[in-house]
Amino acid sequence: MASVKHFQVTFDCVEPERVARFWCEVLGYVVPPPPEGFATWDAYNQALPPEDRDAWFACVDPSGAGPRLYFQRVPEGRTVKNRLHLDVRVATGLVGEERLARLEAEGARLTALGATRVQLLPADDENESCLAMQDVEGNEFCLD
């Protein structure tokens, strides 16, 4: 039997640190310590050639259970719908009004951080309600 592989989730973005810090707040992730020999990430960044500065940023699950998130700078902004998105599980096991209240509360918290509410997808015969949103650069995700 094959072992479970570790993986990271990579985001293409225009402002890696800004998007990474948003996702730290969403998921309770943290910024890892800077590379050895540097007191801060800013000091590390300033040591790079100008064309490499602010090219990437990362955040990690402090418990070590979740994947590392890596944010890399690309020259273009997002132009089409994501082919992959994250479902942030904030209302697992809840149904009806209790679920909607939890989704709305978390949606309001994330909107205050710069997210955009897209649409509430109501429960149907197969799925519970979820809230479609976009992060600070327009990448789609769902509160589930």
DSSP string, 22-68: HHHHHHT-BPPPPPTT-SSHHHHHHHS-GGGTTSEEEEB-TTS-SPE
pLDDT of residue 41: 93
At 113 the pLDDT is: 97
Instruction: Note the pLDDT tens digit of each residue in 29-69.
Output: 999 999 999 999 999 999 999 999 999 999 999 999 999 99
pLDDT band at 7 (very low <50, low <70, confident <90, very high): confident
pLDDT bucket at 84, cuts 50 / 70 / 90: confident
Residue 80 pLDDT > 80? no
User: Binning pLDDT at 50, 70 and 90, where does residue 1 land?
Assistant: low
Q: What is the pLDDT at residue 132? A: 96
> What distance in Å separates the CA atoms of residue 79 and residue 125, rounded to the nearest whole number?
33
Average pLDDT, rounded, for the chain: 92
Euclidean distance between CA atoms 91 and 56, whole angstroms: 31
Percent of the chain with pLDDT over 90: 84
Distance CA 29, CA 143 (A): 17
Q: Tell whether the model's pLDDT for residue 79 goes beyond 80.
A: no
pTM for this model (two decimals): 0.88
